[in-house]
Structure 1
Amino acid sequence: MASQLAQPELASVRRFEAAGFRAWPAANVHYDGTWLTRLTPAHPARRLNSVNPLDPGDVHHLEDRIERAGREFAAVGRTLTFRMSPLSGDAMSVHFDRAGWHWLAESLVMHRPLDDRLIGGAIDQIPMKDVPRFVGAAIKAQGASNILRPALTDILTAIQPEAGLFALEREDDEPLATAICVQDGDLAGLFEIATAEAERGKGYARRIVLSALKWARLRGARIAWLQVEASNERARSLYASLGFTELYRYHYRQPAET
């Protein structure tokens, strides 16, 4: 629970939360106190459409602020969603529990030192510069809808830190695996790692992750990190085998009537 974290741990959470916001920017962003609201009407992802409390002590006028946030989400056709990291604090969790809010989609934030021992055998790979081509490959690898193509393109072009777009493809240009690595100072964040369904279990995800991290290491990154859904056992097993360990968890909350 947030109240059990020592201050240095909370500072570490704040650092990785901020890096995550920079690496995966929402279309519209604003603050209510220390609550960061992120809205992206063109993309359904919860992390792009959620209220992110960033201070455990900022729990004043909860009902009024939650109602105001609900109107903002309704105006763009989204369900009010709070993303609950350790920065949200116990008081807000208790409030949502009493109101019967749903608990959804727990994820882990994992990290590890980015050293030569990890990436020594990685294959050198040059990131793609062709954003539309990468987006097409990523959508295929993920098995996602082409409807998301414009929104994903907008997200990638809005990333401010250096972003490496990586894809492994067959000779016929069909994607095997894709990944995004965002190098933000000494941090290398991995996002949207996906392997085409027919190609899973063949080591492509490991290969592309290591190549992406080698690229980031050569640019000065020293810590690798990622987010993974707690229910994704295959991905968690891969990351654990690469030496990633859990730093903290977050989950989403939505009103009981949804």
Structure 2
Amino acid sequence: MAQDDLNWRMEQACREAWPSALEIVADGWLLRRSGGRIRRSNSANPLRGTRGAPGKVIDAAEAFYAGHGQTPLFRIPDIAAELEPELDRRGYGREGGTIHLHADIDALAGGGYDDVTVSPAPSERWFEARFRTGGYDGAERRVFREMTRLIAGDKAFVSSARDDEVVAFAFGVIRNGLLVVEAVETDARFRQQGFGRRTVGGLIGWARRAGAKAGCLQVVVDNTPARALYASLGFSRELYRYHYRRKTVAAWTTIPTTTATSPAS
């Protein structure tokens, strides 16, 4: 597969693995809104193919987000960086550098672990662990639950427990043969004990049995522990990076940023 094809295939798969409640297309960009603090589901994302003139795209996105009381936010991957000069001119700041990693499924370490629970839907224990470690408020809990309900395609929610308490978790979605690894987290009390590696390994094992041909994920550039975990599992190939551009305007409500662990915000 050509590099450009792989990049855009991954771009689509990662976007569909974390759906937004509202999405509209404007001049080749997908304007996404879900509420909450996850940036990629509340930002303008480029689509493959012909995209509009930067000024026109930014005007449309600014009007869309202002209409919903949100600060305009653009997700800018290296493979579609044409808005950068105009965003600079308009005073948008830069934040949230993130890496896309990819590996063939046979290059990834993973299998079936007796202590890793794999389910096609998130249990209440899985949700509770996610909300506890992520510090979600009531509104964000509703947003996240709705997001998981909207996911299409094969999916699995995995977790590891200690004394009947979920201490590590993740979920994965297979889109067109590509496993997207999402929401990886280990409770701070149980880190450096192998729970994260076994949990993601269990997800990889599920994806291999389900017929996935490759795996991918997004990780924040400066998240050294997460990057080390993924390298140990075989995610060694970097495809491209992305960052966000945000302009704070007093009249609009700013979406808080997040310092999510692995699959990046």
How much does 1:242 deviate? 1.9
Amino acid at match of 1:8: A
Aligned to 1:4: none
Which residue of the other structure, out of 89, 101, 107, is the alignment partner of 2:92? 101
Which residue of the other structure, out of 25, 44, 51, is the alignment partner of 1:58? 51
- Supply the distance in 2 between the matched residues of 1:9 and 1:34 (Cα, whole angstroms): 21
Q: Which deviates more, 75-84 or 137-146?
A: 137-146
Summarize the alignment of residues 199-238 of structure 1 with structure 2, pairs less than 5 Å apart. Answer: 199-238=190-229
**For structure 1, which runs of at least 5 residues remain unmatched after alignment?**
1-6
How much does 1:216 deviate? 0.8
Q: Which deviates more, 69-78 or 212-221?
A: 69-78
Higher helix share: 1
- Supply the distance in 1 between the matched residues of 2:8 and 2:130 (Cα, whole angstroms): 29
Contact 2:71 2:249 in 1 (8 A): no
Moved over 4 A (4+): none
- Aligned sequence identity (%): 30
- Supply the distance in 1 between the matched residues of 2:10 and 2:98 (Cα, whole angstroms): 14
Matched, 1:151 2:181: no
| Number of residue equivalences | 247
Q: Which has the higher contact order (CA 8 A, sep 6+)?
A: 2
Amino acid at match of 1:24: W
For residues 31-84 of structure 1, the C-alpha deviation after alignment (integer angstroms, 9 at most, x for no partner) is 11211111112x221101111123585242x33432231121122222100100
What is the RMSD of the two structures over their aligned residues, measured on CA atoms?
2.2
Contact 2:27 2:51 in 1 (8 A): yes
- Supply the distance in 1 between the matched residues of 2:7 and 2:78 (Cα, whole angstroms): 7
TM-score normalized by the length of structure 1? 0.87
TM-score normalized by the length of structure 2? 0.85
How much does 1:257 deviate? 5.0
- Supply the distance in 1 between the matched residues of 2:191 and 2:226 (Cα, whole angstroms): 11
**For structure 2, which runs of at least 5 residues remain unmatched after alignment?**
251-265
